């Protein structure tokens, strides 16, 4: 799969370029925004990889840490007319028969209790899971642990949706992100109780 291989190589290149000895997590963001237009499609996707730096002696990894991420490589950037990554994602989405890329049916976004149950704009969920599978392969091959010991990969977007936990869990086949996922579960449970 050409898109998988492209993302894999871009992510590994980014990880190997980081000039730090220790990080709290690898951060992979898959994001869509109506301002992102690629080949006439609104809500096209940005995929970026970075890391969450260590600050002092703290190894605490919580949701606030995602704000402090150091983005070092943009893999898919719809602002670039000739972006190779965007073209690879575009071709891959078409090859798996995703229709109306970027469109999200508002009638299927929320349940009766106003909980978000959608999968993002058409093609978003598929790309998120592909990115998660790519990072799983990278973790399985020891690319991250060779540089930073046992370090979690957090697959996320700017907001937290129901599928983010599954994507992050999938990207960490040896439980590297269990502590973060436990924190996330407890945080969301706390929010529901408020």
* Cβ-based burial of 64 (10 A; exposed 0-12, middle 13-18, buried ≥19): exposed
Residue pair 142/173 in contact (Cβ under 8 Å)? The answer is: no
pTM (two decimals): 0.83
| 115-120 mean pLDDT | 78
Per-residue model confidence as pLDDT tens digits over 25-50 = 999 999 888 888 888 888 899 899 99
Q: Whose CA is closest to 134, among 94, 97, 182, 85? A: 85
- Write phi, then psi, for 162 (nearest 5 degrees): -60, -25
Which residues, in sequence order, are CB contacts of 99 under 8 Å at separation 6+? 122
Which residue would you say has higher pLDDT here, 120 or 138? 138
Confidence check: pLDDT of 115 > 60: yes
Residue pair 43/30 in contact (Cβ under 8 Å)? The answer is: no
Q: Cα(62)–Cα(142) distance, rounded to whole angstroms?
A: 24
Residue pair 14/72 in contact (Cβ under 8 Å)? The answer is: yes
* pLDDT value of residue 156: 87
Confidence check: pLDDT of 54 > 70: yes
């Amino acid at each position: 799969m050409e898109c998988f291989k492209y993302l894999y190589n871009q992510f590994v290149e980014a990880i190997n370029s980081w000039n730090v000895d220790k990080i709290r997590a690898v951060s992979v963001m898959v994001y869509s925004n109506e301002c992102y237009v690629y080949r006439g499609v609104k809500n096209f996707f940005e995929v970026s990889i970075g890391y969450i730096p260590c600050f002092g002696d703290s190894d605490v990894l919580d949701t606030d840490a995602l704000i402090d991420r150091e983005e070092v490589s943009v893999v898919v950037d719809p602002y670039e007319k000739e972006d190779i990554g965007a073209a690879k994602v575009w071709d891959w989405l078409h090859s798996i028969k995703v229709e109306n890329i970027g469109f999200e049916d508002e009638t299927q976004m929320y349940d009766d209790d106003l909980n978000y149950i959608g999968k993002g704009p058409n093609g978003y969920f598929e790309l998120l899971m592909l990115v998660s599978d790519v990072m799983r392969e990278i973790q399985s091959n020891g690319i991250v642990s060779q540089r930073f010991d046992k370090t979690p990969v957090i697959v996320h977007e700017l907001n937290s949706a129901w599928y983010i936990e599954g994507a992050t869990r999938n990207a960490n086949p040896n439980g590297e992100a269990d502590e973060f996922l436990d924190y996330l579960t407890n945080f969301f449970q706390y929010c529901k109780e408020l």
